[in-house]
Structure 1
Amino acid sequence: MEKLHFDIQIKAEAIKVWSVLWDDFSFRQWTSAFTEGSFYQGDLQEGATIKFLDPKNNGMYSTITKLVPNEEIIFHHLGEIYDGIETPRDLGEVFERYLLTEDENMTHLEVEIHTTEELRSFLEEKFTDALSNVKHLAENQL
């Protein structure tokens, strides 16, 4: 298992950063750093299943194991999706954790990822750009 950590300081309140991360329109914008046209299906509720997809309906599905609005969300990845069909895969403890800490109109966004070795280089290459997109959107959107 590979453990990755990313963080960024954003000049915006945590509620704004959270909105950029998880509102459909801005989610599609910041995740374009990974794959153009990325989106998710499902409700952001603890215990809910979320599908992270590309325009060809390929991606992964996950359970939200923790959700504290505007502060923290953890996705436990369960399997992959090919042509819209869920394919369970024993990924072990593969998860993503987003943690927002606000201090005087600044938000520190930390992302911790436990992933497979095969995805490590892709995530290391793309996640910095994705977080730059989040920063730009949070600091410049009305």
Structure 2
Amino acid sequence: MRNVKQLNFSVVINAPVQTVWQRMLSDVGYRHWTSAFCEGSYFKGSWQQGETIRFLSPSGDGMVATIAEHIPLELLSIKHLGFIVAGVDDFSSDNVTSWAPAFENYRFRAVDSGIEVSIEQDIAPQYEQYMQDSWPKALQKLKALCEQG
């Protein structure tokens, strides 16, 4: 049985939406702001709708997902499907089927002081506290990255 909880986070960034979108999803930008979750994290794959993307730690372990929806400058929806352990995709272990598929949605909305980036994330209960601690730090790193000249 699927056991997930939805967490919500947001940040207002004083920068054009094009800047936020580009810096969030570029290789260098992604490595910077996601270091709040895991130092040295990176992705392999494409942000385009329907494509497979892997979110990896320096050891090569991580998560495998597909891009469920991609509306440039408005919405990015990631459908997490499994773990990557020792270079092998795991879609079927109990550890995965207890939560997958799980969505991570990013919405970009213009507000008076810039762009509000809102995140909705489905999460397995055992990772809730880690995400509650890490997301605010990651969003502050993203904000600083986008607001610097």
Corresponding position: 1:94 with 2:102: yes
Letter paired with 1:56 = S
Preserved CA contact (<8 Å) 1:96 1:112: yes
User: How far apart are residue 20 of structure 1 and its match?
Assistant: 1.5
CA distance, structure 1, for counterparts of residue 144 and residue 64 of structure 2: 27
Gaps of 5+ in 1: none
Q: TM-score, with normalisation over the residues of structure 1?
A: 0.95
CA distance, structure 1, for counterparts of residue 11 and residue 39 of structure 2: 22
Preserved CA contact (<8 Å) 1:38 1:54: yes
Which position in structure 2 is the counterpart of 1:38?
41
Aligned-residue CA RMSD in angstroms? 1.2
Q: Tell me, what secondary structure is at the counterpart of 1:118? A: helix
Q: Tell me, what secondary structure is at the counterpart of 2:67? A: strand
Corresponding position: 1:128 with 2:141: no
User: How far apart are residue 92 of structure 1 and its match?
Assistant: 3.5
Preserved CA contact (<8 Å) 2:81 2:101: no
Which position in structure 2 is the counterpart of 1:70?
73
CA distance, structure 1, for counterparts of residue 74 and residue 58 of structure 2: 29
Aligned length: 141
Runs of 4+ displaced beyond 3 Å: none
Corresponding position: 1:107 with 2:130: no
Q: TM-score, with normalisation over the residues of structure 2?
A: 0.90
* Percent sequence identity over aligned pairs: 31
